[in-house]
Amino acid sequence: MLRAPTQLRSVPIRRIPSKVRALACVAIFGALVTGAVSLSGAASHAIAAPAVKPSPKKPPPGPLLQGAGIIRWPSLYPKGTGYERYSYVIVGRDDARAAGRLPGISLVYMSGTSVQVSWSTGVSYQEALVRGWLLKDASGAYVKNIHYGAYIGDIGDVAYQQRFVSNVAAFLRATKTKGVFIDDVLGHPGLLTGGGFPAKYPTAEAWENAMVSFVAAVGPELKTRGYYVVTNALKFVSQDVRSETGELTAEFWKRIAPYVNGLMSESWLQNPNDAKQLRAVGTRWYENWSGWQNLAGVAQGSGRDFFGVMYGSADDLRTMRFGRANFLLDWNGRGGAFIYFVTDRDEPYHRAWVTQYGLPLRAKFERAPGVWQRKYARGIVVVNATNAAVRVRVHGALHSIAPTDALLSPNPRG
């Protein structure tokens, strides 16, 4: 889960702990004003992937970049440019009015699960305190988000859900933003609480049902009012291997998909503890590429848009390529986006992660074990999800693709 955006300054997004520490999961937008997680080294590149020409620091003028979005916290928004080019722009409250004027879909960070003391993520702290909407544990102490100190709202309370809808809708209407990004939509509370349960929802089943009830109440109501709703959703249960394979998240997504427009996976194909270690085909906890890559199909198979977010430096072209190509492997050519959060530069743009090849012409197919290809109107993408370098022939030329890397090859004649 993302750390909740502090209103005025950027905070790095929390990384998912390693398996030894019970593998937590990052709710991508716990801090819509935050920075990002970077990932580091997987298998070394025996063969370098094709070089990418230097990219301009801002997107050139033109139509919307399809299947591409950005996240901008308050301290970052004034420093970037070209926001009118992205199909989706996710911001904190401070920049909602500016984002609302953009041609793409502007989304404002909110969280019904985490209630901040000094600013509102849907229901204010004072409202929740007075109305008894802050959850407590069995000893009577308030349950808090261990990562950034927020209280935990009573997501299953009907009155709380209604207040969230009315407050968020009023904010979106006033700022003319087109939708909401709801963080901390978790199928198990352990990632927020460190493992404990609120007294009102004392079991995993009770918590998940309350979470689904929240999404089922607020999502359709906001959609009915014309707003686009995206959830940063994940289910992680300590010591359950299905958490590592993405299976629990996929099951949780299927429960909440009917109520939203889009589903997001943060640190989608990365080991959140290691800045450049990308998911490969394999059974180690930080691998399981097939299960996590499949989330795109889970979302779109449910009739919803898929959003995959990955983090890295401005010169980490491998992670850019890998994320973009994996997104294009299953993209339906309509909504959703791949988002690359640049961790060390104010300007997020690089054409390596916004590659525009038009619409897909056919489904993906497996060229070799762990090596997948898909053809688009204006190019071909090939993903090497293995831990070994491969050589492939595309458009009549032989290319080398390093481990957990990708090739995005435009048609020779454009």
Per-residue pLDDT of the chain (414 residues; tens, 9 = 90+): 664 454 432 233 333 333 323 333 333 333 333 333 222 222 222 233 334 445 667 888 889 999 999 999 888 999 999 999 999 999 999 999 999 999 999 999 999 999 999 999 999 999 999 999 999 999 999 999 998 889 999 999 999 999 999 999 999 999 999 999 999 999 999 989 999 999 999 999 999 999 999 999 999 999 999 999 999 999 999 999 999 999 999 999 999 999 999 999 999 999 988 868 999 999 999 999 999 999 999 999 999 999 999 999 999 999 999 999 999 999 999 999 999 999 999 999 999 999 999 999 999 999 999 999 999 999 999 999 999 999 999 999 999 999 999 999 999 886
Predicted local confidence at residue 231, as pLDDT = 98
Nearest to 269 by CA among 216, 214, 328, 226: 328
In sequence order, what are the beta bridge partners of 264?
Answer: 232, 307
- Spatial neighbors of 168 by CB under 8 A, at least 6 apart, are 110, 122, 180, 218, 222
Nearest to 165 by CA among 207, 234, 220: 220
Amino acid at 119: W
- 155 vs 357: CA distance, rounded Å: 41
- Look at the domain 19-359 and name its fold: TIM Barrel (3.20.20)
- Spatial neighbors of 339 by CB under 8 A, at least 6 apart, are 68, 69, 70, 71, 88, 90, 307, 308, 309, 310
Predicted local confidence at residue 250, as pLDDT = 98
DSSP code of 412? Answer: T
Predicted local confidence at residue 334, as pLDDT = 95
Query: Against a cut of 0.95, is the pTM above it?
Result: no
Two structure tokens written together for 302: 């449910």
CB of 183 within 8 A of CB of 260? no
